[in-house]
Structure 1
């Protein structure tokens, strides 16, 4: 990307956890495309962590917005004037169609109203026993491990177990391995930006990676369709799961319910978002606890004081405030959705700069969460930033977005993360190895090469 040269900052010391090397020089179109395929976050100029807004042109005009007031305009006040960007839709529509994450306007609103009851707090808490069982199983697996462990692989296994059970609890016709493999394949290949995306070329021009992923996506959708049809024949579970709740959901204003295709696309959205993002949060949190043993010991003391030797439940979550602070700090330093984008439909001014229709509005959550005007010593790991009463601008911390399109599953994700993390740290100690994780964003902010830690019983 073209921009002003960023100020040269000293290298991160051992006092700071792993950080993305942000841009320090102009890249141009081809350079931007190559960098984006490796790590989207490296497109962010370092100067974006010190200014409210940065603008430029790389094929198309773009603006990176880090100012909380301007972010409130884009995400809350004028949502319809700043829809999801064309590139976002190109990346995600092949996998999840016009589901809640991608849909706009009236089509998004009726789906949100229909799905909202499924994510009411009472339903989230009713699904907690699945999270508790997954936490216990994860602790057993880690306790029996010998040598360094890739805890990211473990948290992916645990959270996929949760989302599979709360989505298709009966398991009728639901091939979990096939769905998991298809999701992983799509993220690793088709979900990468191409030079055609950077240039702003229209979506009808095929992107080779997304064409090659077609067979995996068709299989994934077929598996989900089969499970939905099987549930229609067998009827709801005694304790409704997410599929039952969404099948029963209706838009209270129009009475419209989701078709099989709409159910499938939304369920696949929740499966992808519901395990990937929580798995990442947990893996990064465990890395941060290994990085700072004092914080880990304080977290373990809280968890052991509440839980003893048992696994956490939904009722324990309010009694584990420091564990929640650690989850929030992990979400600040390594937000899974670390880079969002919108397309302006109107003439506007943000941070005093002109915005034209068609401009791309980038919301670099990673830079926002490490902004020097918003956070003290922003690259430092400090869960006490989120202590009760600590001052913070609402639009300075956006791990789940904000406004009417805030993530519908945010409370589900936080509950799951606290349950699993507290269960693990109560009984296990995590330590660093020589293999430091490397934060890279493709579709989400992943630890390239895994998160390798030592694991020992407490």
Structure 2
């Protein structure tokens, strides 16, 4: 680091004399970080109570942190507060242990397995249609986000673990909401109190983890007893052996991986679909074009994996939805050694945050960034865009292992439901993003459904 670079300090809001920008980070983080980039540029410095944080908004800096100098950046101590829930699963583990677990999990998501997954996914969608048809026939309002959570949870359980989680959907939803809210509170506390203290929030969190543990250990126990034997991800993890010791994973290790994939796998995809249907309801011309594409190419036939490359507009709608409302809206790392990002020094121990929600709205890379425009993902319009201007699944070696499955689920659900239903938001129902660990609609998405006319 040169002497001149070492003396430069990134611009940014000073905030409160003691708490810095932590109060606004708690109350309205999306506005804080959007305004930060607009006012101060692509590197913004925020004091956050006892921590110093640098926000990165240029794809070149994102690439340095996630790819070129990734060995210098690790998960933050704040992220480690997820450990009571996720343990040493793929999201939180580091180093050689993470590499081993990633190698074990990766084959379960290879392209050759997607065809079988697609058949299971479309079968589960078809199983849900009578319930949705009944809601449409009665004109009964319902929470679309909750229904999508239920559907995607069933998909995740079946294709990855051979488990039927449909009866657990309500318990999982309540437990996950408690976990996200309580952990968000802890992450944003200046002085987090020990989990051993019998505080109401700590008790709620422990009860929620117990609910999730009972479900996850139930999946593992069932497989030990020989139920649902298959060649899915759980089978791969249970059959894996350490190259040096020959030992397999303990049930605790299995629990951590299953928990991570159940929670991360269904929460993010269901939120992405919820935001997609919200945007389509706001843009009827896009909704009509999507339904026309699916109907013209497929009629009433169930889509297969081979159909998806032809459903180009359907895929672009999902991509554009994840641009405007990326489920994983924030990626945080801590610098292990000094570095330079955007021409500014980053001292060892500094937290750097990469915000897809902000980068996806950067006017240097996105024309009219607040506009819903799926065709911005046409090759002719996206070819010159930097790789890390769009990163709904992260990037580098720690890019989401299940991104292919998430896209498969998203495209199939979108095609089959948008062809069949029009969803109308209940008048007066507020829709606003809630930036917890994931980006979810704070009040859900209350809608009524209307069946479309069958193609002639």
Give, in whole Å, the separation in 2 of the partners of 1:246 and 1:216: 25
Partner of 1:220: 212
Deviation string, structure 1 residues 314-367 (Cα, Å, up to 9, x no partner): 232222111110110010000001011111111111001110111110111111
CA distance in 2, matches of 1:253, 1:411: 31
Cα deviation, 1:267-307, whole Å, max 9, x if unaligned, reads 11111111111111111111111111111111011111222
Q: 1:106 to 1:256 in 2, by over 3 A?
A: farther
1:245 to 216, 236, 239: 236
* Cα distance, 1:45 vs structure 2: 4.5
Show the counterpart of 2:7. Answer: none
- Give the distance between the partners of 2:318 and 2:70, measured in 1 at CA: 28
Distance in 1 between residues matched to 2:194 and 2:212, nearest whole Å: 23
Question: What is the aligned length?
Answer: 434
1:437 corresponds to which residue?
431
Aligned partner (choices 347, 364, 368) of residue 377 of structure 1: 368
Note if contact 1:348-1:355 (Cα within 8 Å) is conserved in structure 2. yes
SS at match of 2:78: helix
In the alignment, structure 2 segments of 5+ residues that lack a partner are: 1-9
Rounded Cα–Cα distance in structure 1 between residues aligned with 2:28 and 2:420: 35
Structure 1 residues 456 and 113, CA gap change in structure 2 (3 angstroms): same
**Residue aligning to 1:17:** none
Partner of 1:428: 421
Q: Alpha-carbon deviation of 1:215?
A: 2.9
Check whether the contact 1:186–1:213 (CA below 8 A) recurs between aligned residues.
Answer: yes
Pair 1:419-2:431 in alignment? no
Output aligned runs, 1:182-221, within 5 Å. 182-196=175-189, 199=190, 209-210=201-202, 212-221=204-213
The superposition leaves residues 189-229 of structure 1 with CA deviations (integer Å, 9 ceiling, x where unpaired) of 23434553xx4779889795345411331342243224313
1:113 to 1:253, Cα distance in 2 relative to 1, 3 A:
farther
Change in Cα spacing, 1:373 to 1:207, as seen in structure 2 (3 Å) is: farther
Matches within 5 A, 1:156-175: 156-171=149-164
Change (3 A) 1:280 1:442: same
Please state whether the residue corresponding to 1:75 is helix, strand or coil: helix
Distance in 2, Cα, partners of 1:154 & 1:297 = 22
Q: In structure 1, the residue corresponding to 2:162 is in which secondary structure?
A: coil
1:293-308 to structure 2, matched below 5 A, reads 293-308=284-299
> Alpha-carbon deviations, 1:25-54, whole Å to 9, x = none?
945655844444445434415131472111
Instruction: Check whether the contact 2:12–2:46 (CA below 8 A) recurs between aligned residues.
Output: no
Helix, strand or coil at the partner of 1:371: coil
CA deviation after TM superposition for structure 1 residue 137, in Å: 3.7
Query: 1:456–1:31: structure 2 CA closer, same or farther, 3 Å change rule?
Result: farther
TM-score, structure 1 normalization: 0.86
Partner of 2:108: 118
Partner of 2:133 in structure 1?
A: 143
Which of the residues 392, 399, 406 maps onto 1:406? 399
Asked whether the equivalents of residues 347 and 356 of structure 1 are also in contact (C-alpha less than 8 Å), the reply is: yes
